[in-house]
Amino acid sequence: MEEIQNEDRDHNLTFIVGNDRSGKWIKRSPYDNPKMLANLIGYDLFDGKIPRKEAKGYATVPDAPDFTKGHYLFKTRCESCHTIGGGETRLGPDLLGVTERRDRVWLERWIKEPDKMLEEGDPTATELFLRYQKIAMPNLRLEKEEIDALIEHMRLESSRISSDFAKYSESDLPPVSLE
Question: Which of these ranges, 25-39, 41-55, 148-162, has the smallest mean pLDDT?
Answer: 41-55
Evaluate if residue 52 carries a pLDDT over 50: yes
Q: How many other CB atoms are found less than 10 A from the CB of residue 56?
A: 8
Q: Is the pLDDT of residue 1 over 60?
A: no
One domain for residues 25 and 83: no
Q: Are residues 77 and 160 in the same domain?
A: yes
**pLDDT for the residue numbered 179:** 43
- Is 54:29 a contact under the CB 8 Å cutoff? no
pLDDT at 178: 47
- With 50 as the cut, is the pLDDT of residue 60 above it? yes
Residue 144 has pLDDT above 50, yes or no: yes
Q: Is 24 within the bounds of a domain?
A: yes
2 is a domain residue? no
Domain match, 25 and 110 both: no
Tally of domains within the chain:
2
pLDDT at 7 over 70: no
Question: For residue 94, is pLDDT > 80?
Answer: yes
Q: Do 48 and 126 belong to one domain?
A: no
- Residues 33-52: what's their mean pLDDT? 72
pTM of the model: 0.60
Measured CA to CA, the distance from residue 61 to residue 59 in angstroms comes to 6
Residues 38 and 121 in one domain: no
Residues 102, 43, single domain; the answer is no
Does the structure show a pLDDT above 60 at 5? no
Structural domain for 94, as ranges? 69-167
